[in-house]
């Protein structure tokens, strides 16, 4: 357990270490070519050190409900099963079984370490699989994402489920394994049915223009008929009762989050630039881009609902992959390494800006 860091400074340490790594990476992008041996040594060594340290830092954090919200709830559930409690069936059953099995072989602290591994390792795996020796840039973008920390220490079950989805995508060329992990992600958290359904649609049709039009249309439809869509999806049940509760509790009274809509446009702008302007042709990228547009359009329709951030994350977890993918697959710019460094800085800049607003008094 890492208990020498004050809990109120836990995120502060994380965000500022991330800032240092982003700045060092930016400096390397200015001074070295992407495939320069010195740069590859830097990215490999820093990448693996960061991977291990971030798993340990998050996995061995002290148990706290005040600073890590739902962590205390997960800990209480673990202790309940450790004392012989009956299996809870009203939530995601597979995750409950997972917790119960863990109680027989590990302590509650080790359980959170395992959760950190399940959340973070797939980000490394999908980055390594797709981008080989340049995996560090993709992994770094995952970790410095605005949504990374909340689902590492709070919405743990949702975070693990989306990471299992990423793990599934890393087996894109091995369809039986990919399908197995996609099913597993939904068993961990039923809300993953949305991106799974969206990804399945793209297997049949993956023209970005069509889904881009749908995404744009979702904005006026939400502004004009927000409560209507919440009522529709609530009546459908949409996977489980909790989702219906999130929607119906919104009541259309929450404000339209233009700031989050702006954030959601980052991969849209990036994807449109490389697909339409640079004519980047990649079957998997098209599918991931379209999956993002479908899932994010759904969130826009219910953006005023209670806990709409939970719906936003069903697309946001793909954001960093969509932004960095073209830059690590093909050469699109004369000074491509500099562009990569600038993209990393700009993407992390939003995260740090939000940190400054919400954490610095």
Let me know how long the chain is.
361
pLDDT in the model for residue 236: 47
Measured from the Cβ of residue 59, the count of other Cβ atoms closer than 10 Å reads 22
pLDDT in the model for residue 306: 63
Question: CB of 303 within 8 A of CB of 226?
Answer: yes
**329-352 pLDDT, tens digit each:** 999 999 999 999 999 999 999 999
**114-162 pLDDT, tens digit each:** 999 999 999 999 999 999 999 999 999 999 999 999 999 988 999 999 9
pLDDT in the model for residue 253: 47
pLDDT in the model for residue 86: 87
Q: Grade residue 361 by pLDDT with cuts at 50, 70 and 90.
A: very low
Q: Burial-class residue 296 by CB neighbours within 10 Å (0-12, 13-18, 19+).
A: buried
pLDDT in the model for residue 359: 56
**192-226 pLDDT, tens digit each:** 999 999 999 999 998 999 999 999 998 988 887 65
HSE on the CB side for 147, CA within 13 Å?
A: 22
Q: What is the dihedral of CA 227, 232, 235, 236, to 10 degrees?
A: -140
Q: Grade residue 227 by pLDDT with cuts at 50, 70 and 90.
A: low
> Is residue 35 scored above 60 in pLDDT?
yes
Residue 92 sits at φ, ψ, to 5 deg, of: -70, 105
> Is residue 75 scored above 90 in pLDDT?
yes
CA–CA separation, 166 and 304 (whole Å): 27
Q: What is the dihedral of CA 59, 20, 314, 247, to 10 degrees?
A: 90
HSE on the CB side for 322, CA within 13 Å?
A: 25
Contacts of 68 (CB under 8 A, 6+ apart): 61, 153, 154
Could you tell me what percent of the chain has a pLDDT over 90? 70
CA distances from 91 to 190, 304, 336 (A): 9, 24, 46
pLDDT in the model for residue 5: 83
The CA angle 263-266-269, to the nearest 5 degrees, is: 140
Coil, strand or helix: which one is 302? coil
Q: What is the mean predicted confidence (pLDDT) over 80-103?
A: 87
Contacts of 170 (CB under 8 A, 6+ apart): 122, 125, 126, 129, 130
pLDDT in the model for residue 251: 43
> Is residue 241 scored above 80 in pLDDT?
no
Name which residue leads in pLDDT, 304 or 268. 268
> Is residue 106 scored above 60 in pLDDT?
yes
pLDDT in the model for residue 245: 47
Burial call 62-89: b when 16+ CB within 10 Å, e when fewer: ebeeebbeebeebbebbeebbeeeeebe
> Is residue 59 scored above 80 in pLDDT?
yes
Q: What is the mean predicted confidence (pLDDT) over 249-278?
A: 81
**151-166 pLDDT, tens digit each:** 999 889 999 999 999 9
pLDDT in the model for residue 248: 47
pTM of the model: 0.91
The domain locations on the chain are 1-188, 190-330
- Mean pLDDT (the chain, rounded): 88
> Is residue 307 scored above 70 in pLDDT?
no
The CA angle 164-167-172, to the nearest 5 degrees, is: 130
CA–CA separation, 229 and 256 (whole Å): 14
pLDDT in the model for residue 65: 84
Range from 6-10, 232-236, 265-269 carrying the lowest mean pLDDT: 232-236
């Amino acid at each position: 357990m890492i208990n020498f860091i004050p809990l109120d400074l836990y995120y502060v340490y994380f965000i500022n270490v991330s800032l240092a790594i982003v700045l060092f990476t930016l400096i390397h992008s200015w001074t070295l070519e992407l495939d320069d041996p010195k740069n590859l040594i830097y990215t490999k060594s820093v990448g693996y050190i960061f991977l291990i340290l971030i798993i340990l830092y998050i996995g061995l954090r002290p148990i706290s409900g005040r600073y890590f919200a739902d962590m205390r709830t997960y800990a209480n559930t673990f202790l309940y099963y450790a004392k012989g409690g009956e299996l809870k069936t009203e939530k995601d059953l597979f995750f409950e079984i997972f917790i119960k099995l863990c109680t027989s072989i590990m302590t509650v602290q080790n359980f959170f370490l395992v959760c950190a591994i399940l959340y973070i390792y797939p980000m490394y795996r999908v980055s390594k699989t797709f981008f080989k020796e340049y995996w560090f840039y993709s992994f770094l973008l995952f970790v410095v994402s605005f949504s990374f920390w909340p689902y590492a220490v709070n919405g743990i079950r949702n975070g693990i489920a989306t990471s299992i989805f990423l793990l599934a995508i890393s087996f894109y060329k091995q369809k039986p394994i990919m399908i197995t992990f996609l099913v597993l992600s939904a068993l961990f958290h039923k809300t993953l049915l949305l991106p799974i359904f969206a990804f399945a649609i793209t297997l049949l049709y993956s023209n970005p223009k069509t889904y881009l039009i749908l995404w744009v249309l979702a904005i006026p439809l939400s502004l004009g008929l927000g409560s209507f869509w919440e009522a529709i999806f609530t009546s459908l049940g949409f996977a489980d009762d909790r989702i219906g509760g999130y929607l119906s509790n919104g009541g259309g009274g929450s404000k339209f989050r233009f700031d989050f809509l702006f954030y959601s446009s980052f991969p849209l702008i990036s994807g449109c630039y490389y697909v339409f302007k640079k004519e980047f042709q990649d079957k998997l990228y098209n599918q991931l881009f379209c999956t993002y547009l479908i899932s994010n359009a759904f969130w826009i329709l219910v953006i005023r609902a209670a806990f709409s951030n939970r719906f936003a994350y069903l697309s946001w977890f793909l954001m960093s992959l969509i932004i960095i993918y073209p830059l690590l697959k093909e050469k699109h710019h004369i000074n491509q390494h500099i562009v990569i460094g600038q993209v990393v800085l700009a993407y992390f800049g939003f995260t740090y800006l939000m940190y400054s607003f919400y954490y610095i008094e």
